[in-house]
């Protein structure tokens, strides 16, 4: 019998989350995230949009092989060819779901489909019936449901449930709804759709106005039983609903009597893993997983927390996997300790790959006495430059107070050596100016972010760059204990993407 209080977690980090420019993962990285999501206990993993690219198709196949318990879901448009390809990609999944749908708001119907309301219902029904020929579990999404009028939306939902949809997704695609409005929409559907008990209603909220979590909660409190979420709230524009926020709301608020099967202690390591693999920093004040989420700095708060933790802390950091006794590795730590700590963080390494990361680890431990979890995750993803054909050969910088910073740089471009020197208003500027004397393309630096990983003057720094070249944006990343080297490497990471 279905547990009426259980909330199903549908994670779309690898589909909606991965649509963010610069955050694309390769198949191996996606499998790593999918396995970690399985460890967290999500019910459904949306693994990709198979017709959109061979990479997505392949990732759905490989994730289907790699995970056991969660349902693997593939996205399609309400188009037969999309559904055929999704079914093929899901062939190895032990539990499988096709997620098909179409826009239902007047604006989508008129401008996107040049159609009318009746025809859209027919197309929706046809797609659901077609997908049911392949799988028993079909989810339908009514794109832009947030701006679809409730009466018409109820007709769509009723028709697709009759056609065999097991889950109906009500996306607030543009992040426009107010929480009361979104909650009322779910309530309206529960009260007006004939046969609504034959399917689960799902929330899918975007964060354009900062209301994704509030809207998701409003949906769940009004009867939706699935929430579509991403790690760290990653996603296009302002992102999707953050899984960690909904998970901890359900865990903290016993009064609302909704539960999940998540093992919340896996949240923090998974948050670090996704941030590191997707090169997407987590803002320090982000709820649940931000660096400052549990840092009490005011004297009054510190005093209260020391007397009784419950005075100012509503969540025990251990419940989300923040482990203040976490082992810090040093140059004396062996391969086994490194392997163990990476496994705790959700990364399994064996053989040659482990040896390579261990060598990098020893090099880092020479420069930095204590290696923490964030450093390890960066190391585990460190071979991103292995295929670069433009490599940093050497870098020398002179800087200080009362001198004009100057840098000389050497690049190895497909085996040929080039050198240049330049001045700048600081050491990073000087190094980039020198680099641009060798690579003379017309590129515009659009974003340049430097972030420390933890604390301490021997810390690693992460650099994210975005460069516009030929009307396209390219994203780069590097991490190094040397801030100037990290900046140049991140710049080169971008350049290597358009200078193949
Ligand atoms: O936001 C949205 O409407 C979506 C659908 C494709 C489910 O991501
Ligand atoms: Zn979405």
pLDDT in tens, 436-477: 999 998 999 888 888 776 667 777 788 888 888 988 888 888
| Whole-angstrom distance, CA of residue 17 vs CA of residue 373 | 23
DSSP string, 286-306: -TTTSTTTT---SHHHHHHHH
DSSP β-bridge partners for residue 431: none
Q: Are 434 and 407 in contact (CB under 8 A)?
A: yes
For residue 233, how far is its CA from the centre of ligand 1 (angstroms)?
A: 14
State whether the beta carbon of 143 lies less than 6 angstroms from ligand 1: yes
Q: What pLDDT does residue 207 have? A: 98
Phi, psi (deg, nearest 5) at residue 415: 95, -15
State whether the beta carbon of 173 lies less than 6 angstroms from ligand 1: yes
Radius of gyration of the chain (CA): 25
Nearest residue (CA) to ligand 1, atom 2 = 173
State whether the beta carbon of 139 lies less than 6 angstroms from ligand 1: no
Q: What pLDDT does residue 63 have? A: 97
Ligand nearest the Cα of residue 202 is 1
Which ranges of 67-197 does DSSP label H, i.e. alpha helix? Answer: 80-89, 106-107, 117-132, 150-163, 179-192
Token output for 366: 């020479």
| Whole-angstrom distance, CA of residue 154 vs CA of residue 240 | 24
Predicted model pTM: 0.82
| Whole-angstrom distance, CA of residue 180 vs CA of residue 187 | 10
| Whole-angstrom distance, CA of residue 463 vs CA of residue 485 | 10
Nearest residue (CA) to ligand 1, atom 6 = 143
Nearest residue (CA) to ligand 1, atom 7 = 141
Q: What pLDDT does residue 88 have? A: 98
Q: What pLDDT does residue 91 have? A: 98
State whether the beta carbon of 141 lies less than 6 angstroms from ligand 1: yes
Buried b / exposed e across 196-214, counting CB within 10 Å, b at 16+?
beebbbbbbbbbbeebbbb
Low-confidence ranges of the chain (pLDDT < 70): 1, 295-307, 311-312, 324-327, 382-386, 453-455, 500
Q: What pLDDT does residue 22 have? A: 78
For residue 422, how far is its CA from the centre of ligand 1 (angstroms)?
A: 48
3-state secondary structure of 61: helix
pLDDT in tens, 331-357: 888 888 888 888 877 788 888 889 989
Q: What pLDDT does residue 255 have? A: 94
Q: Are 268 and 242 in contact (CB under 8 A)?
A: no
What is the Cα 457 distance to its own chain's centre? 29
Q: What pLDDT does residue 458 have? A: 77
């Amino acid at each position: 019998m279905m547990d009426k209080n259980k909330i199903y977690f549908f994670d779309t980090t690898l589909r909606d989350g991965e649509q963010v420019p610069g955050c694309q993962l390769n198949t191996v990285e996606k499998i790593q995230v999918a396995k970690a999501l399985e460890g967290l206990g999500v019910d459904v993993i949306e693994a990709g949009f198979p017709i959109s690219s061979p990479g997505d198709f392949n990732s759905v196949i490989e994730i289907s092989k790699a995970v056991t318990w969660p349902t693997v879901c593939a996205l399609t448009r309400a188009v037969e060819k999309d559904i055929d390809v999704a079914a093929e990609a899901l062939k190895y999944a032990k539990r499988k779901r096709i997620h098909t749908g179409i826009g239902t708001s007047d604006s989508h119907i008129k401008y996107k489909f040049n159609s009318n309301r009746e025809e859209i219902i027919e197309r929706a029904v046809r797609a659901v019936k077609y997908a049911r020929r392949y799988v028993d579990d079909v989810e339908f999404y009514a794109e832009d449901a947030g701006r679809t009028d409730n009466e018409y939306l109820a007709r769509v939902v009723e028709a697709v449930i009759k056609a065999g949809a097991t889950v109906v997704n009500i996306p607030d695609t543009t992040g426009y709804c107010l929480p009361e409005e979104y909650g009322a929409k779910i309530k309206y559907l529960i009260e007006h759709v004939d046969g609504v008990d034959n399917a689960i209603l799902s929330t899918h909220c975007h964060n354009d106005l900062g209301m994704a979590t509030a809207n998701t909660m409003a949906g769940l409190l009004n009867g939706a039983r699935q929430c579509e979420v991403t790690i760290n709230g990653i996603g296009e524009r302002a992102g999707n609903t953050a899984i960690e926020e909904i998970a901890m709301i359900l865990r903290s608020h016993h009064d609302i009597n909704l539960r999940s099967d998540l093992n919340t202690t896996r949240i923090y390591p998974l948050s670090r893993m996704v941030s590191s693999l997707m090169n997407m920093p987590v803002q320090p004040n982000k709820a649940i997983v931000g660096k400052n989420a549990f840092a009490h700095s005011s004297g009054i708060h510190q005093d209260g927390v020391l007397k009784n933790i419950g005075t100012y802390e509503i969540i025990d950091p251990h419940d989300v996997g923040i482990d203040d006794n976490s082992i810090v590795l040093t140059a004396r730590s062996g391969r086994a300790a490194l392997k163990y700590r990476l496994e705790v963080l959700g990364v399994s390494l064996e053989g040659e790959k482990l040896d390579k990361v261990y060598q990098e680890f020893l090099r880092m431990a020479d420069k930095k006495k204590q290696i923490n979890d964030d450093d390890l995750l960066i190391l585990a993803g460190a071979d991103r430059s292995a295929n670069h054909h433009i490599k940093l050969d050497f870098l020398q910088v002179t800087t200080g107070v009362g001198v004009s910073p100057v840098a000389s740089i050497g690049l190895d471009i497909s085996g040929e050596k080039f050198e240049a020197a330049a001045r700048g208003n600081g050491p990073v500027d000087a190094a980039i100016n020198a680099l641009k004397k060798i690579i003379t393309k017309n590129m515009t630096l659009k974003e340049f972010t430097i972030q420390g990983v933890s604390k301490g003057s021997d810390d690693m720094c992460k650099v994210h760059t975005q460069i516009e070249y030929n009307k396209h944006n390219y994203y780069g990343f590097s991490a190094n204990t040397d801030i100037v080297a990290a900046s140049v490497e991140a710049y080169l990471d971008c350049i290597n993407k358009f200078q193949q």
